[in-house]
Structure 1
Amino acid sequence: MSGDILQVVNDATPFIAAAAASYGSAVLAQAQDEAASATISAGRRILLRVFGHREADDPIAGLLDEVAADPSDPDTVGALRRELRNALTEDSQLVADLRAMLAGAAPSVTVGTNEGIISTGSAATNTINNTR
């Protein structure tokens, strides 16, 4: 497996896990909810692009329901990652498509007035030195 596929899987997992945790297998059939968070919406779009619409008795739908039942279970999330990796390994265009989708799903912040620190990204850190 190429490092590129593994990176896409790592980048996509939080989005697809959030969507699965919120909707279970319905994420592949449900109309878009305008109130869904950006993360869940991005996860839903990724899941639909990778797996398409599925019937309730499909194994992928069952796996999404398992993630919804316990999104903190590393085994079920790992199984979802495995299915994503397998799909990406079989389709190089899908890798490119997901990279583009993930680039557009990056967190952003809109601020009217701020008197503090705003950090985004999983590696963001802040150090405050109070010298008063």
Structure 2
Amino acid sequence: MSAEIVGLVEQAGPYLTAALGAYGGAVLTRAESTAVDATSNLGRRILHVVWRRRGEAEQAAMEAVVHDAAENLEDTDAAAALRQYVKRALREDAELRRELTELLPTPATGPVTITASGERSIAAQTITTAITGDGHHPDR
């Protein structure tokens, strides 16, 4: 298996996990939601790209793998089965590899230094939500 495919699946993994957590087993059928963070929506888009490039029988197989992983978010074997499915799809379809490469953010090259200074400062390479005030409760 090529290092490119392994790298793509490793990079996509957190997005897929986030999508399953946000959308559940309906990730393949639900429309993108503005109420869901960008990470989850990117994971949903990745799964849709893979799904739509598969034949009817493969789409059914993918749906089963996705539902299993969504219903068992803590099960590392279910998550691994989904990653394996995506790897197989990428091995079989060069155009899919290109599409996935375009969807995923470009990985940072070289060392990244992130510094926070001062009371209630936040430091992260990527932040989707940050609340630093007293008494604020995020919408649930």
Whether TM exceeds 0.5 here: the answer is yes
| Pair 26,73 (structure 1): closer, same or farther in 2 beyond 3 Å | same
Which residue pairs with 1:127 in the alignment?
none
C-alpha displacement at 1:52, in angstroms? 2.2
Which of 111, 118, 132 matches 2:123?
118
Q: Deviations over 1:37-67 (max 9, x none)?
A: 111100000000011298xx92222222221
Query: Does the Cα contact within 8 Å between 2:16 and 2:43 map onto a contact in 1?
Result: yes
Runs (4 or more) in structure 1 with deviation over 6 Å come to none
Which residue pairs with 2:34 in the alignment?
34
Query: Does the Cα contact within 8 Å between 1:9 and 1:85 map onto a contact in 2?
Result: yes
Which of 77, 102, 105 matches 1:103?
105
Between the aligned partners of 2:106 and 2:74, the Cα distance in structure 1 is: 26
Task: Note if 1:91 corresponds to 2:96.
Answer: no
Name stretches of at least 5 consecutive residues in structure 2 with no aligned partner: 109-116, 127-140
Superposition RMSD in Å? 2.7
Between the aligned partners of 2:124 and 2:10, the Cα distance in structure 1 is: 21
C-alpha displacement at 1:100, in angstroms? 1.5
Q: Deviations over 1:74-132 (max 9, x none)?
A: 100000000000000011121121111111799xxxxxxx84352216xxxxxxxxxxx
Equivalent pairs: percent with the same residue?
Answer: 34
Query: Does the Cα contact within 8 Å between 2:22 and 2:36 map onto a contact in 1?
Result: no
Instruction: Look up the equivalent residue of 1:81 and give its one-letter code.
Output: R
Query: Does the Cα contact within 8 Å between 1:28 and 1:52 map onto a contact in 2?
Result: no
Structure 2 length-normalised TM: 0.70
Using CA pairs under 8 Å that are at least 6 residues apart, name the structure with larger relative contact order, 1 or 2: 1
Q: For 1:1-132, what aligned pairs fall within 5 Å after superposition?
A: 1-52=1-52, 58-103=60-105, 115=118, 116-120=121-125
Structure 1 length-normalised TM: 0.74
Name stretches of at least 5 consecutive residues in structure 1 with no aligned partner: 107-113, 122-132
Aligned length: 113
